Each structure stands twice: as C-alpha cells, then as structure tokens.
Amino acid sequence: MILELYNQLKEIAESEYADIIKETRIIFSYTGRARKLRLELADNTFVDIWYSSEGEYSFHWEQRDLRAILYRHDNAPHKKWSYVKTFPKHCHDGSQDNVIESMLSDKPECALREFLTIVRKKMIKLKHENQRMKNH
C-alpha cells in the first residue's frame, strides 16, 4: 500500500516538477519495506516524503548542508505545537522551533503538489537573492 503510494507520488513529481527535480527514488529498509520517497533537487538539496499506514506523514525539505534552513510539514501530535490552529498538522518554517499552521491537503497527491509548489517558489526566491547578492 505505501509502496504503491510512493510510486504514484514519484510519478507526479517526475512529470510535473521536472524543472526542480534531478532524481527520485524510493528508499527501502533492510527488510525491503518502502520507508520514504526521496526527491533530489536541482539546488543539491532534497525532499523526503514519508507516510505511515496509520496516516502519519512528513514532507521534509532538507537543506541544512547548503543553508541553515529547515522546512517541514507533518502531523506528529507533539503537545508543544498544540497551540497551532491546524494541530496536529503544522509546518516548521525556517527552523525547528518556528512552527506555523499547515494548510497542506489531507490527500497525499494534492499535498505533494502543494508542497513542491512551495519548494519551487522558495528555490526561485533563494536563487534571485543569491544572484542579487553576487551583483552587489
């Protein structure tokens, strides 16, 4: 079931976000269970997408090796974030402790599109900021 979902999300990512994605692969555990979907991005960062059969999820854009930024949407019910209006859904926006509402869809296919659209916009903004800094 999860492998089928990852394959479906992989296909969407490859066909609709080819401008920002270099490579996609499903990462398996040593027992052969599909653990997560990894999307290698054009800026040498990556997105990990994880779903459980119980409906837990995480969309995590890993970019700490390139810049000190964390960006993740998940629905882990940490009591620390219970003040967030969309709890247990929440977004770590820029850092682990900067938590805001998450408006990602509950449908995995829609959530993927929403998340990758945000990533694309942020990548474009970062690229423009870097070019502007180089020109000054």
**Sequence ranges of the domains in the chain:** 2-135
- The residue among 135 and 91 whose pLDDT is bigger is 91
**Helical (H) or strand (E) element with 129:** helix 108-135
What does the alpha-carbon distance between residue 36 and residue 76 come to, in Å, rounded to a whole number? 16
Record the pTM. Answer: 0.91
Q: Is the pLDDT of residue 101 over 90?
A: yes
- The residue among 135 and 43 whose pLDDT is bigger is 43
Q: Is the pLDDT of residue 136 over 70?
A: no
Measured in degrees and rounded to the nearest 5, phi and psi for residue 134 equal -70, -30
Answer whether 88's CB lies under 8 Å from 77's CB: yes
In angstroms, what CA-CA distances link 14 with 4, 34, 47, 58, 85? 15, 18, 13, 19, 33
The model's pLDDT over 4-23, given as tens digits with 9 standing for 90+, comes to: 999 999 999 999 999 999 99
What average pLDDT does range 75-94 have in this prediction?
95
> Is 114 exposed, middle or buried, given 0-12, 13-18 or 19+ CB atoms closer than 10 A?
middle
**Helical (H) or strand (E) element with 61:** strand 57-62
Give the count of beta carbons closer than 10 Å to the beta carbon of residue 19: 9
In angstroms, what CA-CA distances link 109 with 16, 30, 62? 12, 27, 20
Give the pair of three-digit tokens for residue 57.
């999820």
